[in-house]
Amino acid sequence: MLRFGVRGRSICPESLEKCLDTLGGFRETSSYIFSLERDVSKSRTTRLIDAKAQSNREAEQRRSSSTLTKPAPEPRKTCLYDLHVENRGKIVNFSGWLLPVQYQDAIAASHVHTRTFASLFDVGHMLQTRVTGKDATIFLESLTTSDLKNLEKGSAVLTVFTNENGGIIDDLIITKDDDDKYFVVSNASRRDEDSRLLLQQQDVFKIQGKSVSLEFLHPLEQSLVALQGPTAASVLQTVVKCDLRNLKFMRCMNTEILGSPIRISRCGYTGEDGFEISMPAKIACILVQMILGTPDTKLAGLGARDSLRLEAGLCLYGHDIDEEITPVEAGLSWLVAKRRRAEENFPGAEKILYQIKSGAKKKRIGLTIMHGPPAREGACILTPEGEHVGKITSGGPSPTLGRSIAMGYVPPELAQYGGKVLVEVRTKTYKATVTKMPFVKTNYYTAK
């Protein structure tokens, strides 16, 4: 049985659900982590390959004594890994990174604490990239659906990388520091795809004589944390000199602390007011300890982060969105800027603009399930008459609402708010209602 050690702790991927049963109610609070178990199950299936192909491969390996089996890459650590272990974080392998799924509190308790006070999340596994040069704006616009040309300096925008068929390569946040300077934060699970995409496009621009520079920040040199919750601003204000009242949602400022430059962006993945703080690794642990030294501020892990984002109706890449799903189908048409629609010059524009005008064949919806077990990813969505029409992409209990919620895709005629469908869980069906998202009201800071 495959194991990996974490200072005396271990997680057994092939029996992950049993391991997680010991984590204080985790099974009924997180949705994405069971995808890890399903991934393991899928890996078992792929090992059951055709016998002839297996025989041929073994023969080829015998013929070539130089053939070596490439070992699986070691899971990576953020610069806050030791802090998680010291605080008794339950470490799991998430997208190739060793991260805490929770600490001593149950995930539901950590979730509620974030909605009530403030929690600190390590998101240092995400890809941080600096894009600079006189052609940086048109470079990023050539890959995304955003209007970066007219974006104010110091502002950030949620956007997507799209492919030529309109599918979503990744969702990301781009901050405009200046006309020729941008800061990009994208998903850890798409690190290789995103960096490859950026580098390939950089080569294209260089051939055209255009100027673009890329700097991928190393996760052991540059930390990223998210402070989220109603008291996040008052907590952070105690450790920084700049006036956070002037920093609105999706705005960024650069300041200095402990003699080092840091970036503070007012954004997050929970639906609450909060900040993402990018800082040099050398001050990360000190700054985190300063934040945790304030009243009612705790560390939180991946479990609470997932249940919080689900309540906020936010997508998780590889689950709710992927390269086969367009922004229109995902309910993200608003990410396609007005100017970009008129110019029709972003990847996949033909399909995306057609869907905006004529409609898509499926649509992401929110579901509330009043009774029965949670509908997890992969569960079937049925009409009231029992016809299979879609799949759940994310689902789990909502600690805030006290009932189960989910997201999934159905034909547009079934996507009307208040509509009734069925979800199938372990061969039984349960009633669900199509619900407007976010499921829980967001509390972003607009300074109004």
Beta strands in 136-273 (DSSP E): 156-162, 168-178, 181-186, 213-216, 222-228, 252-257, 260-265
Beta strands in 316-417 (DSSP E): 363-369, 380-382, 388-398, 403-410
Question: Do 182 and 130 meet the contact criterion of CB atoms below 8 Å apart?
Answer: yes
Q: In 10 A of CB 407, how many CB atoms?
A: 27
Question: Do 54 and 416 meet the contact criterion of CB atoms below 8 Å apart?
Answer: no
DSSP SS3 for 96: coil
- What stretches of 48-162 show up as alpha helix (H) in DSSP? 51-63, 81-86, 107-116, 136-141
- Residue 423 host element (H or E): strand 420-425
Residue 276 labeled ligand binder: yes
- What stretches of 64-190 show up as alpha helix (H) in DSSP? 81-86, 107-116, 136-141
Closest CA to 122 of 104, 105, 100: 100
In the annotated binding site for substrate, the residues are 276
In the annotated binding site, the residues are 276
